Amino acid sequence: AQKITQTQPGMFVQEKEAVTLDCTYDTSDPSYGLFWYKQPSSGEMIFLIYQGSYDQQNATEGRYSLNFQKARKSANLVISASQLGDSAMYFCAMREMGTQGGSEKLVFGKGMKLTVNP
Amino acid sequence: DTGVSQDPRHKITKRGQNVTFRCDPISEHNRLYWYRQTLGQGPEFLTYFQNEAQLEKSRLLSDRFSAERPKGSFSTLEIQRTEQGDSAMYLCASSLVVSLVQFFGPGTRLTVL
């Protein structure tokens, strides 16, 4: 069964510093995708970055990069140059692709709260 | 606004009442998903549609829950005989068939008294 683990309940970072948010996953499917979403206090889930299990390079999207370590089954999100607006809940999620299409559902971790201090 | 929209944003109801939520996906997105998020947890998948066909349902979707997408555009999620355990944020998302990324709406927060 799919499982996403986010063990950090909360983190604090100073503005302009980099921060790493941890995510480990468990799946027996060789084909899967990993996602990070941000959820501000307003409630909307905002897509940040995607990494496919067969992608050779780590995904990057502006200030966001994904440190994908397949052997360790980890997909940590790195935010460079933190901004006050980065304060939010962050969720790691996975979708199993399967050999016959897999599932469309995203399985989310419990999330972690990031607070950026001025 | 061209994003996913949900209505209402907040709903307070008494136990035993029926409630219905609406989701309007991003235009031309043919896949639509429903998730439920309880306090302190990540969203949990409920169901998804491709056009008007409901293709996958979670075991979380009890017989009191029903979702429809009659014309392949907007979708409704109805909860009958609400229980206090139904209190949660109900999130809708949409995507294109060719895309892996699901885009979420602002959610409907349900409180059952």
Rg of chain B taking only CA atoms, in angstroms: 13
Q: Do A33 and B100 touch (CB under 8 A)?
A: yes
> For chain A, how many helices (H) and strands (E)?
0, 12
B29 touches chain A (CB under 8 A): no
Using pLDDT thresholds of 50, 70 and 90, give the confidence band for residue A101. Answer: low
Q: Do A45 and B100 touch (CB under 8 A)?
A: no
| Other Cβ atoms within 10 Å of A113 Cβ, number | 14
Which H or E run includes B12? strand B10-13
Calculate mean pLDDT across residues B18-29: 96
Could you report the per-residue pLDDT of B44-94, keeping only the tens digit for each? 999 999 999 999 899 888 899 999 999 889 999 999 999 999 999 999 999
**Local structure of residue A84 (DSSP, 8 states):** G
Is the pLDDT at A102 greater than 80, yes or no?
A: no
Nearest to A47 by CA among B91, B89, B82, B75: B91
Q: Across chain A, what does the average pLDDT equal? A: 93
Whether the CB-CB separation of A23 and A64 falls below 8 Å is answered with: no
Is the pLDDT at A64 greater than 70, yes or no?
A: yes
B78's tokens: 């109805």
% of chain A residues with pLDDT over 90 = 81
C-alpha to C-alpha distance for B62 and A86, rounded to whole angstroms: 36
Whether the CB-CB separation of B11 and B108 falls below 8 Å is answered with: yes
Mutate to test the interface with A, among B102, B103, B109 (most CBs of A within 10 A): B102
Is the pLDDT at A97 greater than 90, yes or no?
A: no
Higher-confidence residue of A104 and A34: namely A34
